[in-house]
Amino acid sequence: MMENAWIIPLFPLLSFLFLILFGKRLKEASAFIGILLTLASLVYSLLVLFERLTAPTYKAEGVWLTIGDVQLTAGFEVNQLNALMLVIVSLVSFLVHTYSKGYMNGDDRFPVFYAYLGLFTFAMLGLVISPNLLQTYFFWELVGLGSFLLIGFYFYKEEAKAAAKKAFIMTRIGDVGLLIGMILLFWQVGSFEYDEIFAAAEAGSISAAMITLTAILIFVGAIGKSGQFPLHTWLPDAMEGPTPVSALIHAATMVAAGVYLVAALFPLFTASETALMTVAVIGAFTAIFAASIGLVQKDIKRVLAYSTVSQLGYMMLALGSAGYVAGVFHLMTHAFFKALLFLAAGSVIHAVHTQNIEHMGGLWKKLRLTGPLFLIGTLAISGVPLFSGFFSKDEILIAAWAHGNTVLFWLAVIAAFFTAFYMFRLFFMVFAGEARSDMKNVHESPSVMTMPMVVLGVLAVVAGYVNTPWFGTFLGDWLVEGNHSLGHGHIEGPAWIMAVATIVSLLGIFLAWLMYGKRSLSRDWLTSRAPLTYNLLYNKYYIDEFYQLTVVNGAKFFSAFLRFLEVFLIEGIVNGAAGIASSLGKLGSKFQNGQIQTYGTAAFVGLAILVVIYAVTGGYLK
Amino acid sequence: MDLETLLSYEWSIMAPEFIILGVATALSLLDLFMPKAQSRKILGWIGFAGILAALVSLLGLVGHSTESILFDTFRLDSFAKAFKLLLLIGAAMVMLIAISYELNEGLEEFRGEFFYLFLAALLGAMMMSSSGDLITLFVGLELLSISSYILAGMRKRNLQSNESAMKYVINGGISTAITLFGMSYVYGLTGTTNLKTMAGFLTTVYDEQHIYLLGLAFFMIVVGLSFKLATAPFHMWAPDVYQGAPTPVTAFLSVISKTAGFALLVRILFSIFANTPSGDAEGMPMILTLQDYIAFLAGATMIIGNLIALRQRNIKRLFAYSSIAQAGYLLVVIATMSLFMFDALWFYLGAYLFMNLGAFAIIQHVTHKSGSEDISQFAGLYRRAPFLAIAMAVFLLSLAGIPGTAGFIGKLNIFMGALVPQEGHYVLVSIMIAATVVSYFYYFGVMVQMFFRPAADVGKIKVPAALTAVISISIAATILFGVVPNIAFDFLQGNFNQFTDFFQ
Amino acid sequence: MSAVPIQAYLALALILFCIGLYGALTKRNTVIVLISIELMLNAVNINLVAFSKFGVAPSITGQVFALFAIAVAAAEAAVGLAILIALYRNRKTINMDEMDTMKH
Amino acid sequence: MSFEYFLSLLVFSPLAGILVLSFLPKTQESLIKMVGFLATLPALILSLIAYFQYRAGASLESLSEKVSWIQFGYSEQLGNLFSIDYELGLDGFSLIMLVLTAVLSTLAAIASIHIKKEWKGYFMLFLLLEVGMLGVFAAENLILFFIFFEITLIPTFFLIGKWGYFEKEKAAYSFLIYNGLGSAVLLIVIMVLFARTGTSNIDALMAAMSADNPQLVAPITENMKMGMLIALLIAFGVKLPIFPLHSWMVRVHVQAPPSIVMLHAGVLLKIGAFGLIRFGMGIFPDQFQSLAVLLAVLGVVNLLYGAFLAFVQTDFKMVLAYSSISHMGIVLIGVGALNEAGIQGAIFQVVSHGLIAALLFFLVGVFYERVQTSNIQNLGGMAKGMPITAGFLLAGAMASLGLPGMSGFVSEFMAFLGLFKEMPVLAAVGTIGIIMTAVYLLRAVLGITYGQAHRDFAGVTDMKKFEFVPVLVLVGLIVLIGVYPSVLSEPLTSTLETIMLGIGG
């Protein structure tokens, strides 16, 4: 099985090529192609995962490009993390493929949509089985392309266009960091191979400073992809894409790639305390920062987007606190419940044709299936006990505490409170109370959309139990098995943390219920008390405006300056030279005045000059 | 000298000159006795035949050993042969151009004179290239000059023609006087007018005074001859004269008298000054100390010619400046004095002969069709006469020194000669190349007219056979020598054994 | 008898030459200009003849040369005048500075 | 490649087309176009044969031809000094360039369908241009190189000046003068080398320059070498173009007909890079090393300058023109790095940008054909009317901004890989260019294809059949190189080794 794991990404690639070429003819039928091929890779990845549970890591490579005596290789590797990611990605992708059959129904670019999904899935699967940094970067960019295409799927919408462009460029800024980092690393290690890099890092053949530098640069790449502060602004805008896309790319898989990258390079990061600290701080800050914005957003998808950002921050915090398992664990659970939430949100939007939660409400009765599923997701993300999110988040908090990042720990706790609050605010505003706008013929989505949600719903509940302090930490033990540099499978932490986490989340839920469910607490008590805070939060701390003002205008100004240079200096010099030549010609032809005697005189003067020069320099007056 | 000595001379080596002379006389008599009504075109054909005959006889002499008769006043060395070859080929083509020169006013009744004066001028040119004595040199020079004064004024009812002739004769007189003055000093310092004995005598001159006087003579001769070459400082007459003179005459002046001028210059400089001590410590020959002055003149000529040409609208004026520039390139050859000098000079003059005469053939035809000489007359030529346009393009490209044409190989040869010496003439080469680039502007300007601009009148242009011949020959030669130049070089090296006999 | 030194002849020739040149380059009247040119040529002749008597290596060729020079000068003058007449017919002037229909 | 005059046949095969064309009546449009297209095929086929035989292990030496051509001076006294042979030959690098030229010529010939007038003259010049380009890469001695180099100049001048857009003549002239000056400088260098060493054969020159006490006609001092290298830098810098010698090239890109720009951006600019690597590095290795830093800096300047200027252009052609400048910067960066990675990156970039630029300009032509404008502000939402073209345009942009899986990435990556080894800080500055490339390309391409249509483009039709050929071929090649770069790197190995040997790296 594992020997042929390389085939897994090829199924979606096949679907992409096939649909791009023949999609027009197939129309709606193209959905089946996509679904079947992703199913194939899902099945195959499951088989690979099961085999990997027992068998050792498998790695195969071939030469891709020769530079002088250096050989760059390409291939694939199946270790615990890769196997796990394969399953997560192909599973979510498969579900989203299915879901889209209903959601995108009737769109005239239906086949194109599936083709893009295929492309993205291919890239994402390729990313997670890459055995070296170069190949990772290769697919890293390709997933970016997939995300770009899908965000801009409604290309005729100016917002979509802007969002797509923004997403691509912002992530690219991060990617450059990654590129620099890996090239520097290459000249240190002499290879892009993960294991060789780790070996070198352990052997201490790389200076500490260099390790820190490269690690941080690579982390910059992760910041870009995983929408961490300060490169997070593209992720909420990315919600312009179709909702299934948001579920697949901007919740479950691609945005998690940053976390995956840090996890994959974990030994490198652990080799530098500074790097780890940076990761942790950025993570924690992003977590609280995004959560605070999420408190006040009105667009259902944006709320979810900010929650994604903050959850990713959690994962970073975990990794930054040496909580390898915690990070990966949360990555998995988050993939499930966040995908669920998005799909459910999509189902809601599908039903009411708006994304503004102010116009929703009272959908609980109307959407019999979507409602409960959304609730499950909400509970999971809020970290309510017995749901998957509870366990993973708990792991993170423990890791943070155990690693001694007390401040970060408390930040995370507050973030947890916020999360619980805004998620339930969202839930209540959408489903509880009465409709705040007249919504005709609202009906539950077709089963092709609900089924995937059900599957995810189940997973959102049970996924947590693969790694619990009570029934054993199978996942953790398996993940770190045979690789001491990844830390322990399970970090023991004081029991009160779990209690605190629970209380906090319940508090959040309770407050949300007071304000939006029971309405005993007026909604705008925050708005009225601190309008400034509210505006600040609602406008996402004016970060976009800030970038517009500094970076974008800066670039524009600089370009304008260069253009000035181009037109006046460079062109000017050229024209000047030409002018001189022609004016000299003019001068010359002035002498050519038609007077015979002038010509004779010229000759005589010439002769005189020659003779004088000769007399002065040459023969005689020496 | 008595009859024996006179008969003892091998007169056969003067055959070409005799033929030309004979034909010229014959033509003058014919012209006299022919009925007025009859067209004189026939005279032109006779003259052409004569030139061909001379050419044949010269080719017969090519293998002939170096010979000099009449007390060394007339030498037949490889240098003379090589240059006479150019002169005769050029003359034949100019003759063809002249035959097809149609004008309603001015020339018609003088056509006869035109032909034999032309032959007289040619004779002068030939003497210049193969005489071993100052006196014969001078007489040849004047024969050429005086005939061409009249030729320039041939269209006597045409004001411009008169004026150009006047300018020509005045400037010519001045230049003659200057040259002659220089020569008189050389004679005074050597007591002989024979170049060879002169050279021999001069090797022994060490008196500062004398050397300085020689220097003066050198400058006077160079400046005086620069009139014939139309190079700085005596170039300014050229545009006016070229513009006013009938086109065949312009062609003649720009090619044949230039070639003869170079022949004369080389002859005098290198036989008189080559091994004259310059009086400085290293005992460097005088010529090398004077090298830089020629280089200076060459640079000036190239720059002036190309820059002023930029502003010309009149095609003949344009070509006047262009030929000034070309003369500048040729001066570079002389200034550098490398071991490639003779080849380079000869080859470039040959290339220049073909490309320039071809161009003038076309210019004559186009301008005559429309009566105006503004370059706008070339507008849309590609539509009206594709053959002419493409031929003209080839000639212009060759003049601009674009690869694939003889002009390029010629320039290549010049550069090489300039760069081979220990301290290469980098400045001169740079000036020359820069000047070449400047020349792109006006050469391509004509092409832009021919190919890009719409024609004023779209009537097709018919080309008379004679012109077609000239143009075809020129185009063939220009491309042939551009693609397989070794034809020329092999001929040169095979027959003229390196011009070693030049100094004996 | 003490001969007049050659320098004197040379100086005379030079002066004559310069006068001629000056005239040729400044006079408006074309006839005068032609005559000035003759002056220059005659200066040469003085040189030649002087050299042929008092030169470094005196020889008769100088005088031969002078004869040729005189002949040529005559021819040149003739042609010059002929052209001048032709011009006069068209232009009705013999002023140098009016002969500038072609310039630049 | 068994028989003797394989290369000559390859290089001069287009002349057959010219011959045929000259007998065709100038009104037979379709026939003329067909002939013009067919005439490019022999070169293509032959070059591909050569390529695959080389990949199959055949040696390129068997291809070289040598016929003695010009002898200056006298052989008995000079021996074979100052003799110029007609000698053609190939190494891996020039083979690749030859294939590139042949492919692009054929595609450009197809693109020439859009030419509206005087097809006969157009195709004659076009084929002449191809001869020149092929010859440049096959020439084994400098003078032959220069001759072919100039031969490309003349047809291009006319092709721009006659079949270009509004300011065509100005563009043609600035092309002529800049390149004229460039080649003039080049000629000086060539002649100095020739006059001083008596040979112009490239290998012989390399040997003469590297030897400790070479047999020279006249001595060549170190300063002279440096001077000549700088002159070469200027000469090829005009072609490449290197800031600040680039302004002509922008004008040409905007004014020339797309089919010609395909060749111009695709091949002609690359002659600069080719010469710089082949002659600059090959003949003056030591001096080249001392200039490496300068080159790298110039490269970064090019990269950023082009990128930032492309960012503010409103005409898509201008954007592409400046993007070409920017991408040539990457060539310089690679060359400046002066290690395997860098040089290989530079060569890759040469090929890659050739393909990409050709693709983009072809697409510009396709758009212009239908909407008579290439101004971004007047366009928009084109993806609705012509989705396929828009898709390919996006693909081209992605390739150009160095998306992995396409050729642009490999070259960019290697160039920077090389530079980071030598001058990390400079390279880090250069990476800003990578970001800017994405910025301006997306701005332009999305501006054209995405968003709301500013005008109503009802009735614009998508690409027609024949238009698919060039696009598919180009995209195919771009992806092939991007995914399986060995198609380029393996033929290059030997060339690189010789170069590295020369610079003692």
Q: What is the pLDDT of residues A363-398, one digit of tens each?
A: 888 888 888 899 999 999 998 888 888 888 888 888
The radius of gyration of chain D from alpha carbons, rounded to an integer in Å, stands at 22
Q: Cis omega (within 30 of 0) on the bond before A111?
A: no
Q: What secondary structure letter does DSSP report for B38?
A: S
Contact C101 B163 (CB under 8 A): yes
- Spatial contact of B236 and B300, defined as CB atoms under 8 Å apart: no
- Smallest CA-to-CA distance from A217 within A264, A278, A273 is with A278
Q: Tell me the residues of chain A between 572 and 601 that have a Cβ less than 8 Å away from chain D.
A: 573-574, 578
Q: How many CB atoms lie within 10 A of CB A495?
A: 10
- Assign A621 a pLDDT band (cuts: 50, 70, 90): very low
Burial of residue D57, with CB atoms counted within 10 A of its CB: 0-12 exposed, 13-18 middle, 19 or more buried: exposed
* Chain A, nearest residue to D251 by Cα: A571
What residue of A is the nearest CA neighbor of C103? A594
> Do residues D349 and D411 lie in contact, with contact meaning Cβ atoms separated by under 8 Å?
yes
Residue range A3-9: mean pLDDT, rounded: 88
pLDDT of the residue at B108: 60
By the CB < 8 Å criterion, does D216 face chain B? no
Instruction: Evaluate if residue B110 carries a pLDDT over 50.
Output: yes
* C-alpha distance from residue B178 to each of B175, B350, C13, C62 (Å): 5, 29, 12, 17
Which among B219, B297, B310 has CB closest to A582?
A: B310
- Distance between CA atoms of residues A381 and A390, nearest Å: 8
**Cβ contacts of C57 on chain B, cutoff 8 Å:** 190-192, 201
Q: Mean pLDDT throughout A238-255? A: 88
With an 8 Å Cβ cutoff, are C76 and B165 in contact?
A: no
Contact between residue B126 and residue B55 where contact means Cβ atoms under 8 Å apart = no
Q: What is the pLDDT of residue B273?
A: 82
Residue B125 has what pLDDT? 94
Beta strand spans in D270-328 (E): none
Q: Minimal Cα distance from A587: which residue of C?
A: C104
Please report, rounded to a whole number, the percentage of residues in chain B having pLDDT higher than 90.
51
C21 contacts A597? CB cut-off 8 A: no
Tokens encoding D350: 């040469």
Task: Encode pLDDT of D90-137 as tens digits.
Answer: 888 999 999 999 999 999 999 998 888 888 889 999 999 999 999 999
Q: Residue C102 is nearest to which of B138, B160, B181, comparing CB atoms?
A: B160
Q: Minimal CA–CA distance to D91: which of D137, D52, D46?
A: D137
This complex has an ipTM of 0.89
pTM of the model: 0.91
pLDDT band (50, 70, 90) for residue D471: very high
Q: Is the pLDDT of residue D237 over 70?
A: yes
- Among B150, B154, B166, B212, most C C-beta atoms within 10 A, so best to mutate, is B166
Q: What mean pLDDT do residues C41-56 have?
A: 90
pLDDT tens sequence across D395-428: 999 999 999 999 999 999 999 999 999 999 999 9
Partner chains of D (3+ C-beta pairs under 8 Å): A, B
pLDDT over 70 for what percent of chain D? 97
D218: closest chain B residue by CA: B422
Nearest to D71 among B422, B444, B489 (CB): B489
By C-alpha distance, the chain A residue nearest B309 is A585
- Paired residues of A74 in beta bridges: A62
Task: Decide if pLDDT at B153 tops 80.
Answer: yes
Which distant-in-sequence residues (6+ apart) come within 8 Å of D148 by Cβ?
B403, D131, D132, D133, D134, D135, D136, D139
State yes or no: pLDDT of D297 exceeds 70. Answer: yes
- Of D312, D416, D489, Cβ closest to residue A183: D416
Output the DSSP codes for A369-386.
THHHHHHHHHHHHHT-TT
When CB atoms are compared, the residue of A594, A600, A610 closest to B174 is: A600
**What whole-number distance in Å separates Cα of residue D448 and Cα of residue D441?**
11
Q: How close A575 gets to chain C, by Cα (Å)?
A: 24
Tokens in use for D171? 């563009």
pLDDT at res. D3: 67
Chains in contact with chain C (at least 3 beta-carbon pairs closer than 8 A): A, B
DSSP sequence for D384-429: HH-HHHHHHHHHHHHHHTT-TTSHHHHHHHHHHHHHHHH-HHHHHH
Q: Find out whether A272 and A211 touch, Cβ atoms under 8 Å.
A: yes
| Residue B68 clears pLDDT 90, i.e. is over it | no
A599 in contact with chain C, both atoms CB, cutoff 8 A:
no
Per-residue pLDDT at D73: 76
Assess whether chains D and B touch, using the rule of 3 or more C-beta pairs within 8 angstroms. yes
| Cα atoms found within 13 Å of the Cα of residue D142, Cβ hemisphere only | 32
The DSSP symbol for A251 reads I
**Calpha distance D116→A558 (Å, rounded):** 40
Task: With CA atoms as reference, report the closest residue to A259 among A231, A299, A219.
Answer: A219
Model pLDDT for residues B195-221, shown as the tens digit of each residue: 888 888 888 777 778 888 888 898 999
Q: Identify which has the larger pLDDT, A119 or B37.
A: A119
Number of neighbours of residue D249 by Cβ within 10 angstroms: 27
Rounded Cα gap, residues D42 and D30, in angstroms: 20
Q: Could you tell me the pLDDT band of residue B107, with boundaries at 50, 70 and 90?
A: low
Residue D497 phi, psi (nearest 5): -60, -45
Residue D419's nearest CA partner among D328, D316, D340 is: D340
Please name the member of B408, B416, B434 whose beta carbon is closest to the beta carbon of D72: B416
Position B343 pLDDT exceeds 80: yes
CA dihedral (D31, D37, D39, D45) in degrees, to 10, reads: -140
Among D73, D158, D162, select the one facing B340 at the smallest CB separation: D73
C-alpha–C-alpha distance, residues A457 and A97, integer Å = 17
How many residues would you count in chain C? 104
Tell me which residues of chain B have a C-beta less than 8 Å from any C-beta of chain A: 166-167, 170-171, 174-175, 178, 208, 211-212, 215-216, 219-220, 222-223, 226-227, 232-234, 236-237, 239-240, 278-279, 289-290, 293, 297, 304, 307-311, 438
Give the dihedral sign, CA B34/B39/B43/B49. negative
| A to D CB pairs, distance under 8 Å | 122
CB contact under 8 A, B434 and D184: yes
Give the whole-angstrom CA distance, residue B436 versus residue B447.
16
Closest CA to C70 of C95, C102, C45, C103: C45
Q: How confident is the model at residue D454 (pLDDT cuts 50, 70, 90)?
A: confident
Q: Is residue D505 very low, low, confident or very high in pLDDT (cuts 50, 70, 90)? A: low
Residues of chain C with Cβ-Cβ distance to A593 below 8 Å are: 100, 103-104
Please name the amino acid found at residue D207: A
Q: Residue C13 to residues B391, C6, C9, C22, D83: CA-CA distances in angstroms? A: 53, 11, 6, 14, 53
* Mean of pLDDT over chain B: 88
- Is residue D304 scored above 50 in pLDDT? yes
Q: Which of A67-71, A92-96, A249-253 has the highest mean pLDDT?
A: A92-96
For residue B126, give both structure tokens.
């030939």
How much is the mean pLDDT over chain A? 87
Residue C16 in this model has a pLDDT that exceeds 80 = yes
In this predicted structure, the answer to whether residue D497 has a pLDDT above a threshold of 90 is no
Residue C5 has which token pair?
Answer: 């030194």
Average pLDDT, whole number, for chain D?
89
Which of A566, A571, A582 should we substitute to test contact with D (largest number of D Cβ atoms within 10 Å)?
A566
Q: Do C103 and A594 touch (CB under 8 A)?
A: yes
Mean pLDDT to the nearest integer, A246-261? 89
Q: What is the pLDDT of residues B265-292, one digit of tens each?
A: 998 888 888 777 766 666 677 777 788 8
Q: Do B424 and D69 touch (CB under 8 A)?
A: no
Q: Which of B146-160, B345-359, D206-220 has the lowest mean pLDDT?
A: D206-220
Query: Is the four-CA dihedral D70, D76, D82, D84 of positive or negative sign?
Result: positive
Q: Please, which pLDDT band fits residue A618 given cuts at 50, 70 and 90?
A: low
pLDDT at residue B276, as a whole number: 77
Nearest by CB: B448 against D71, D143, D169: D169
- The reply to whether residue C24 touches residue A600, judged by beta carbons under 8 angstroms, is yes
Residue among A179, A123, A177 at smallest CA distance from A147: A123
Taking the CA of residue A521 and the nearest CA in chain D, the distance in Å comes to 44
Per-residue tokens: D470? 């060039």
Distances (CA, A) of B4 to B10, B14, B69, B225: 12, 18, 13, 38
Q: Among B296, B301, B270, B427, which Cα is nearest to A609's?
A: B296
Residue of D340, D420, D485 lying closest to A183 (CB–CB)? D420
D450 vs A67: CB contact, 8 Å cut-off?
no
pLDDT digits (tens, 9 = 90+) for D337-361: 988 899 999 999 999 999 999 999 9
Q: Is A186 on the interface with D (CB under 8 A)?
A: yes
| Token pair of B177 as six digits | 């006087």
Look up residue A540 and give its DSSP letter: G
Q: Residue B409: its chain D contacts at CB < 8 A?
A: 70
